[in-house]
Amino acid sequence: MRAVVPSDPRGIRRPPLNFDAPAHTPFRRALDRTLHPARLARIEPMLREHAAREIGPLLAAGGGDVCRSFGTNYPAFVVAEWLNLERDDVHRLAATASTWVDAWRRQDAELVTRKSEEMYAMARALVTDRKARPRPPETDPASSLLAERPDGEPLPEELVVGALRQSLVVGMVAPPILLGGICVHLARDRALQQRLREHPELLPAAFEEFVRLYTPYRGFARTASRPVELHGRAIESGVPVTLVYASANRDETVFPDPDEFRLDRPNIGRHLGFGRGRHQCVGMGLARLSLRIALEELLRRTSDIELAGEIETTRMPEVGAQGVPLRVTPAIL
């Protein structure tokens, strides 16, 4: 199956994203187990601490590039809580993953490979540690993957490492772009900014509408497993089809006035920002929780957010902002 557009030129396929069922199932089950609402509720206070601390430098400096500061550093702590990384590894993850993402966008193959290897080394170290000292599968993704026994056998170790390597990255790519897009929107719509500041209870609904409008993953692909006809087009078996989630989310036949921000869309649940079906984002609950907290802290700790320069846009495979210079006025708390 081809899942990512463009797909890895080296042909590397890591589970769960690049695997089809039934091979996909045990990897997905193992990760799902670690992201249940009860676990998310347990880590919520830690996420709030991380957000409050990691937003500090932006506030102290009166602004800065929100994507490359708070937007990159805070998600590293979120991923670290999920995977139970050591504190020393968090800053390494933030630096390595963001360099990898930038190198991927510039198609710098040598740097992509080097940074990818560093993340493989982190994933391998996790596997070695959890083999020696297993933790409860419900709260530790590496232990959960190692505990899987499809057909009575453990999952191949190199694929467990691959799934963890993918896990290190997936939670780092979309959040800075989405947060950047949301900040641009809020800076341009001061009334909405103030409304959400005064009514944080509106943030979950606002977040879904922001995901629809600023869908960070342009799209993924599927391969037709049999001949099929879609909207009058015949698709042969074995042909990869790109699904452009960002475009679907602005389909005017589904979302009237698609470029408008609206808090009361009755069908907002139909947006494709987290995908759909078997590969729907496994980290959706964690992404919603962690970014709602990020927005709460950002709005609570500021009295105004303004744009302070040019927005830098991303390239394939993402869409949105990768650099958003802000001027922030800290709130008196």
220 binds ligand HEM (CB under 6 A): yes
CB 141 within 8 A of CB 34: yes
φ, ψ of residue 3 to 5 degrees: the values are -110, -25
28 binds ligand HEM (CB under 6 A): yes
265 binds ligand HEM (CB under 6 A): no
Of 279, 293, 297, 324, which lies in the binding site for ligand HEM, with binding defined by CB under 6 A?
279
Question: Near ligand HEM by CB under 6 A, which window of 122-130, 143-151, 269-277, 311-319?
Answer: 269-277
Nearest to 28 by CA among 19, 37, 38: 19
CB 135 within 8 A of CB 143: yes
320 binds ligand HEM (CB under 6 A): no
Of 74, 100, 217, 255, which lies in the binding site for ligand HEM, with binding defined by CB under 6 A?
217
Of 93, 119, 159, 170, which lies in the binding site for ligand HEM, with binding defined by CB under 6 A?
170
What is 36-79 written as a DSSP string? -HHHHHHHHHHHHHHHHHHTHHHHHTTEEETTTTHHHHHHHHHH
Q: How far is the CB of 241 from ligand HEM (least distance, A)?
A: 12
CA–CA gap between residue 22 and residue 47 (Å, rounded): 34
Q: How far is the CB of 103 from ligand HEM (least distance, A)?
A: 20
Q: How far is the CB of 273 from ligand HEM (least distance, A)?
A: 5
Of 94, 281, 299, 319, which lies in the binding site for ligand HEM, with binding defined by CB under 6 A?
281
Of 94, 287, 289, 324, which lies in the binding site for ligand HEM, with binding defined by CB under 6 A?
287
151 phi-psi bin (left φ>0, alpha ψ -120 to 50, beta other):
left
Q: How far is the CB of 333 from ligand HEM (least distance, A)?
A: 27
Of residues 188-207, those binding ligand HEM (CB under 6 A): none
> Which three-class secondary structure string do you get for 153-199?
CCCCHHHHHHHHHHHHHHHHHHHHHHHHHHHHHHHHCHHHHHHHHHC
216 binds ligand HEM (CB under 6 A): yes
Of residues 30-49, those binding ligand HEM (CB under 6 A): 31
φ, ψ of residue 279 to 5 degrees: the values are -100, 10
Outline where the chain has alpha helix (H): 24-32, 37-54, 56-60, 70-83, 87-105, 109-132, 141-147, 157-188, 190-198, 203-213, 245-248, 284-300
Per-residue x/- track, 81-110, ligand HEM (CB under 6 A):
-x----------------------------
For ligand HEM, the binding residues (CB under 6 A) are 3, 16-17, 28, 31, 82, 167, 170-171, 174-175, 178, 216-217, 220, 245, 273-275, 279-283, 286-287
